[in-house]
Structure 1
Amino acid sequence: MSAPQQPHSPADVSTTADLVAALARGDGTVRIVCHDGSRFVPLAHQPRNGSDPKPWAEYDGDTGVVVRRHASTDVIQIPVTEIAEIVDDQRVDRSVLNRLRAAGIACTPVHDHGTYAHITFQDGGYVNWSGTTRHGIDVSNQHPIADHGSLGCDYHTENASALPEDPDAEFATGDYETDSAALVAYLTALADRHGRTT
């Protein structure tokens, strides 16, 4: 793969607005990344306010926490044909799976190479959870955190009295750190109530 080049003059630098517009079209033409010296890391556009000088968030793929932020002049546009080379450790499921495992909750990626995940509890109930991209592509845990739109899950059991108040929970602020933390807390509470399995 030939490395994409940073623009060499201010006139060549795409503005944040240009990059956001390209993503919002959903036409699959560019992905916004930074380069950490060994790989390209997908970035999420999540400004903290309208005049944020660094609106691009880079996430830790293991924890879901923002590790640093970037200005539009720090970032690179690359064609989507190179997606497969940059997303493996930035998938939406990685940090969720790691946190559930740390809490002693067994979670198995299933269906079509792991596009959603499955948890079974001791009382026989189970949950499926998955992510949705900012473009509305559903039932996929394989897209990068940068494309996060929401996380959701549905709880199933033959015992109606065991159903939680909201068996079909959705966490859809669009901020991955917030949504992934809420999903982990929800699933952990279910595991506390219905029993962990290994």
Structure 2
Amino acid sequence: MSTSPNDATAALLAARTSGLRVITSDGRGIPVAHEPRDAADREPWAEYNARTGTVIRRHSSASCTTVQTTARWMQWSVSRSVSARLTRAGVHCAYEGRADGTRATTTFVDGSSLTWTGAGIRADVQGDDFTIHHSISEHRILRVQCTDDDGDITEQQTFATGNYADDSAALVACVTAYADRHGRTPRAEEPLPPIVLEGDPVSATLLKARSQEKGAVRIVTNDDRMLPVAYEPRTSDDPTPWAEYDPADGTVVGRRRSLECATLDVERGTVTEGWTVARSIYARLEEAGIEFAFGNDSGGTYIRVALADGSELTWNGVTVHGNDVSVLHTIGEHRSFVLDFTGRDGREVNHQFATGSYAADSSALVAWVVAYADHYGRAPRPLH
């Protein structure tokens, strides 16, 4: 007697309950979710496109089998599937919880935050009920929790229709709507590991001269242009560790060997204006429609950006010479940026950008200023 479709489905579900995973039997071994469209559905097993969270094929129970494995099938995990869509929507999340993560979080421009997590059809292999790394095929619920800048829960939603396509779409829509209201934050840049060049005595001599003179000597291209260059080796044996920048967009336009660089004696206080970090950032803020003003205080120089709601931003930089706070040093002498936000309600936020790359730090600084301006409003050009 042949096995009926219902009997085959029951056998697969029983095997799944015992810890096995249901996959396609066509040699691809793709995990499938039991999502029958009605009681008589002859193809109750759904195969998903993980990136879009949509069903691309349906399978009968006869075309599925089981496998016993501890593999995570990360490309079909709930975390990978949802994160791909949130990233496309400009929402960047970080994993939290265990080393591999049981939830994902993101903080918004206004200080509020959001956490999302999920639960599978059974506790995962480490015994946790909540996880975001189980397979789409083992999805049971997704949950979102929102908190304000004081950490108080303001909203919580659970999506548990029994259909991953519907639940994940609802989760992405919820998170995206929250980001629209509270302000997307740019992706965080990770600091680069410190790199020491091996077998490059010329670069060592250039760096020693720059360090000893503390601003009186600048490293420039060894040609008629004498353009400032930044020491940004990519590896310990990088043959061209000196980066030449386009100051208008903060991108590297060329790389130089140490023998293509030289020291330039500069009277303290004078600058190569076109390649200052101020001019480089100015160009991109102007393009984004953001007005700014130059300021001084006892600690050095800074740039102020007033926002439409009465809050403000200030930013400045630190040079490779240590405690020199400035916005008028050259790109080649950049070490880090600091951005401070002061809300009209007194809320203060500090951001630091110190990856070791001017391209990464300056783009992150601009992205954060634009994010604040998008959320709190651009102030008109001040009248003089």
> Is 1:20 the equivalent of 2:13?
yes
Partners of 2:76 and 2:120 lie apart in 1 by: 13
> Is 1:176 the equivalent of 2:167?
no
CA RMSD of aligned residues (A): 2.3
Q: Which of 9, 31, 35 is 2:21 aligned to?
A: 31
TM-score scaled by structure 2?
Answer: 0.44
Question: Equivalent residue for 2:175?
Answer: 187
Listed one character per residue, the Cα deviations across residues 161-184 of structure 1 (whole Å, up to 9, x for unaligned) are x975xx111101121000000000
Question: Equivalent residue for 1:144?
Answer: 135
C-alpha deviation, 1:71, in angstroms: 0.4
Residue identity matched to 1:92: V
Q: Which of 88, 97, 117 is 1:102 aligned to?
A: 88
Listed one character per residue, the Cα deviations across residues 134-191 of structure 1 (whole Å, up to 9, x for unaligned) are 236532011101110010011111369x975xx1111011210000000000000000
**Bigger relative contact order (CA 8 A; separation at least 6):** 1
Q: After TM superposition, list the pairs within 5 Å mapping 1:41-52 onto structure 2.
A: 41-52=30-41
Percent same amino acid among aligned pairs? 41
Partners of 1:49 and 1:21 lie apart in 2 by: 20
Q: Which of 31, 48, 58 is 1:59 aligned to?
A: 48
Partners of 2:182 and 2:25 lie apart in 1 by: 43
Contact 2:114 2:146 in 1 (8 A): yes
C-alpha deviation, 1:32, in angstroms: 0.7
Question: Equivalent residue for 1:6?
Answer: none
Instruction: Point out where structure 1 has 5 or more consecutive residues left out of the alignment.
Output: 1-8
Question: Equivalent residue for 2:377?
Answer: none
> Is 1:158 the equivalent of 2:146?
no
Partners of 1:110 and 1:36 lie apart in 2 by: 36
Partners of 2:53 and 2:25 lie apart in 1 by: 18
Contact 2:113 2:149 in 1 (8 A): no
C-alpha deviation, 1:103, in angstroms: 0.8
Partners of 1:133 and 1:123 lie apart in 2 by: 32
Which runs of 4 or more aligned residues in structure 1 lie more than 4 Å from their structure 2 counterparts after TM superposition? none
C-alpha deviation, 1:10, in angstroms: 5.1
Q: How many residues align?
A: 179
3-state SS of 2:30 partner: strand
Structure of greater Rg: 2
Contact 2:12 2:65 in 1 (8 A): no
Instruction: Point out where structure 2 has 5 or more consecutive residues left out of the alignment.
Output: 187-384
